[in-house]
Amino acid sequence: MAAVFQRLLGLETEYAIRSASELATSRRSKFRLYESLVAALHRRVPTVAAKHFKEGVFTANGGAVWFEAERPAAGGGLIEGATPECRSPREAITYQRAQDRLLAEAAADHDFQLIKNDRDACDNVYGAQESYEATIASGLRLLLWRLGLVLLFPLALVTWVGIGVCVLATLSYFLIAGIIYMPLKLVTGGRESIALFLFGRDLVEGRETCIHVPIWLESSLQLVTRILTAPLAMVLYGLLYLAAFRDARKRLIPFLITRPIFAGAGMVDADGIFWIADKSPAINCVVGYGGMVGDRPIFSMGHFFKAVYADSWFAPREYFELFAERQRLQIGLGDSNMCETAEYLRVGTTLLVLDAIEAGVFTSSPSVRNPIKLLHEICADASLTHLFLLRDGQTVTALQVQRYYLNGCRAFLNQQSEVPVEAWELLQLWGQTLDHLEQMVSEKEPIDSLVGSVDWVTKNYLLDRAGEGATWAERKKIDLRYHELSDDGYFAMLQQAGFAPRMIALDAIERAKRLAPPNSPATMRGHFIREFADGEELVMANWNSVILGQRWRAKKIRLASYGRSGRSYRNGSAAQRPRRTSYRDRN
């Protein structure tokens, strides 16, 4: 029998910042706000620094908060939260809500607010990603994947050497710049502008500002790094495209491109047109690295590239873990949801469909031509009546495709001897939501059961209340303030007034702020953070390990993958314990 709700999963969310202070407009504002946020977090829960390539901390519940920046010296950056590794959709949503609340409370200490959406008023795209533990390949494709990694290794070595030379050249630059600056300092009187141009703010101020190098050097290093890693990136992409999650991708695509009908957050675009999804209209490819060359894929493979060219450079063990059969499937298509029902359905239905796919269901799933074009057409149709052609000649709507997957999952669960109660509850909620959407289509107006449960319906309902004479700016304000994580946020007001049902109890959210989920790698991570965060020895963490102490005295504790226990099932028996797997670094 196939396992149901046994795999690890996690959510990552990028938050925009809303602040009226002068700090918000300065070049260094984003990192300063991140620093103040982390300080406020530490006053609430134990935190430790992340042992990672980017600025971040891990919290007592095993999750993480990052300063996500591609070019920090140029003023870029986002605040990103990542839930701990979870085992069920309800658990994942509980920890997502705990993260939202914890970050919102910390931001409020410094008079700024976080916006949990996917696109700002200037059309910059960011947002949510989902990660699911999955079988990367089997049979000949798994052999191809592993053989490809072996053949790729010499190219990875050459790339590491090139990066090493680049690092040495950068260090040499600072040495030479220091020698040149000494006489200049005497002549110019130590003007700060010259020092900043030569060294960047970190060295000039003698403290962490996240501006490690000058802006011009940052741009140059980014260009050189992309040139150095381009051959490796192209070869690895070909291997990923041919072997990684090939069957799962094929069977998931029709489901994912129609999922926005209940999981979309809605958006008013620059032309005033309403879309049922916020991030989905920006998706431009099926498989990609996620931002390396302006790509925004359905399936993001950037973590594999980072593991090969960066992580393995410092820890060769990371490269060998790529040979494991189970890896992380990352989906970049979804929106950031405010409605708990929509967020739960987004994660839960995907998890259930993935379980069914790996059990051999959906072998004859619908197949579509040009899925990206079709995704955009579906998201542009708030009436949900758009008809499209399948490869077999059938003409269907997005609702009908979702019905197909719902019925397939129901048949899958009926074949299992051990099914979590939550899976049946999810199936019922999925069916009810599709029923209500079909009722809305027939009545051609929003119905009460969807307002507060499905984000795009709720947002459209609020926009309609603004009246036909509302300007674009007024409508866009509603669009953005709907996602504000504060008491003044429009969705928060609806929830406080009782118009948006809560699926997760408030006391469960409060517990999830401080305690890690059970039977997960986060369990041990959270334990060490709570026990040693304020101790005398330095403690750092990442997704794979916890490090106690420093230098030669450091002790690294590898985080195990745990099985499941204590779950309620339809027939009352305990679930079988899954085999140990490798759920790779999530950021």
Going 413 to 418 to 423 to 425, the CA torsion angle's sign is positive
Closest CA relative to residue 79, chosen from 134, 24, 141: 24
Closest CA relative to residue 261, chosen from 362, 374, 356, 351: 374
Closest CA relative to residue 75, chosen from 34, 26, 133: 26
Q: pLDDT-derived band of residue 554, with 50, 70 and 90 as boundaries?
A: confident
Per-residue model confidence as pLDDT tens digits over 15-39: 988 876 645 545 457 788 889 999 9
**Residue 306 has which token pair?**
């980072």
Question: Are 198 and 302 found together in one domain?
Answer: no
At 27 the pLDDT is 47
- Please tell me the least confidently modeled range out of 196-200, 344-348, 578-582: 578-582
Half-sphere exposure (CA, 13 Å, Cβ side) for 533? 23
Mapped onto helix, strand or coil, the DSSP state of residue 482 is coil
Question: Are 548 and 414 found together in one domain?
Answer: yes
If one counts the domains in the chain, the total is 2
Question: Are 447 and 490 found together in one domain?
Answer: yes
Question: Are 203 and 347 found together in one domain?
Answer: no
> Is 473 among the domain residues?
yes
Greater pLDDT, 252 or 70: 252
Q: What's the CATH number where 447 sits? A: 3.30.590
> DSSP letter at 281?
G
Burial label, 508 (beta-carbon count in 10 A; 0-12, 13-18, 19+): middle
Cβ count within 10 A of residue 211: 24
Question: Are 333 and 365 found together in one domain?
Answer: yes
Q: 108-132: string of b/e by CB count within 10 Å (b at 16+)?
A: eebebbbbbbbbeeeeeebbbbbbb
At 563 the pLDDT is 44
Q: 447-466: string of b/e by CB count within 10 Å (b at 16+)?
A: eebbbbbbbbbbbbbbbeee
Question: Are 265 and 385 found together in one domain?
Answer: yes
Inter-CA distances, 67 with 64, 158, 518, Å: 10, 30, 27
**Residue 342 has which token pair?**
């929509």
Question: Are 312 and 184 found together in one domain?
Answer: no
Greater pLDDT, 258 or 192: 258
Cβ count within 10 A of residue 329: 24
320-325 average pLDDT score: 94
At 39 the pLDDT is 95
**pLDDT surpasses 50 at 575:** no
Burial label, 8 (beta-carbon count in 10 A; 0-12, 13-18, 19+): buried
> Is 581 among the domain residues?
no
**66: CB partners within 8 A, 6+ apart:** 50, 52, 54, 55, 56, 79, 80, 81, 82, 587
**Residue 158 has which token pair?**
């050459």
CB 585 within 8 Å of CB 321: no
Q: pLDDT-derived band of residue 549, with 50, 70 and 90 as boundaries?
A: confident
Q: pLDDT-derived band of residue 494, with 50, 70 and 90 as boundaries?
A: very high
**pLDDT surpasses 50 at 249:** yes
At 573 the pLDDT is 35
Cα 359 to Cα 279: distance, rounded to the nearest angstrom: 30
Question: Are 72 and 214 found together in one domain?
Answer: no
At 534 the pLDDT is 86
At 570 the pLDDT is 36
At 410 the pLDDT is 97
Per-residue model confidence as pLDDT tens digits over 57-66: 999 999 999 9
Only one residue has tokens 């119905």, namely: 447
**pLDDT surpasses 80 at 201:** no
Only one residue has tokens 């999925």, namely: 430
- Please tell me the least confidently modeled range out of 83-87, 109-113, 180-184, 333-337: 180-184
Please report, in angstroms and rounded to a whole number, the separation of the first and last CA atoms in the chain: 33
Classify strands 56-59 and 274-275 as parallel, antiparallel or unpaired: unpaired
Domain boundary among 206, 232, 258: 232
**pLDDT surpasses 70 at 227:** yes
50-62 average pLDDT score: 90
At 557 the pLDDT is 87
Q: State the Cα angle at 166 between 297 and 74, rounded to 5°.
A: 60
Per-residue model confidence as pLDDT tens digits over 384-403: 999 999 998 899 999 999 99
Which residues span the domain enclosing 194? 144-232
At 444 the pLDDT is 83
Cα 294 to Cα 450: distance, rounded to the nearest angstrom: 35
- Please tell me the least confidently modeled range out of 77-81, 109-113, 515-519, 576-580: 576-580
What is the identity of the amino acid at 318? E
3-state helix, strand, coil in the chain (%, to 5): 50, 15, 35
**pLDDT surpasses 80 at 546:** yes
> Is 577 among the domain residues?
no
Question: Are 163 and 132 found together in one domain?
Answer: no
CB 81 within 8 Å of CB 99: yes
At 576 the pLDDT is 36
Element (H, E) at 14: strand 9-18
**pLDDT surpasses 60 at 530:** yes
Classify strands 274-275 and 267-268 as parallel, antiparallel or unpaired: antiparallel
Question: Are 469 and 334 found together in one domain?
Answer: yes
> Is 266 among the domain residues?
yes
**pLDDT surpasses 60 at 313:** yes
Only one residue has tokens 């074009």, namely: 373
What does pTM read for this prediction?
0.91
Question: Are 429 and 381 found together in one domain?
Answer: yes
CB 141 within 8 Å of CB 150: no
> Is 3 among the domain residues?
no
> Is 580 among the domain residues?
no
**pLDDT surpasses 50 at 574:** no
Only one residue has tokens 């899958």, namely: 412
What is the identity of the amino acid at 150? V
**Residue 285 has which token pair?**
């490819």
Cα 264 to Cα 248: distance, rounded to the nearest angstrom: 22
C-alpha 485: how far from chain center: 18
186-211 average pLDDT score: 69
Question: Are 18 and 156 found together in one domain?
Answer: no
Only one residue has tokens 């200037």, namely: 122
Per-residue model confidence as pLDDT tens digits over 100-158: 999 999 999 988 899 999 988 888 888 899 999 999 999 999 999 999 999 999 999 99
Per-residue model confidence as pLDDT tens digits over 294-309: 889 999 999 999 999 8
Mapped onto helix, strand or coil, the DSSP state of residue 494 is helix
Only one residue has tokens 């953070």, namely: 529
**pLDDT surpasses 80 at 409:** yes
CB 16 within 8 Å of CB 117: yes
Mapped onto helix, strand or coil, the DSSP state of residue 57 is strand
What is the identity of the amino acid at 82? A
CB 89 within 8 Å of CB 74: no
> Is 571 among the domain residues?
no
> Is 252 among the domain residues?
yes
41-61 average pLDDT score: 92
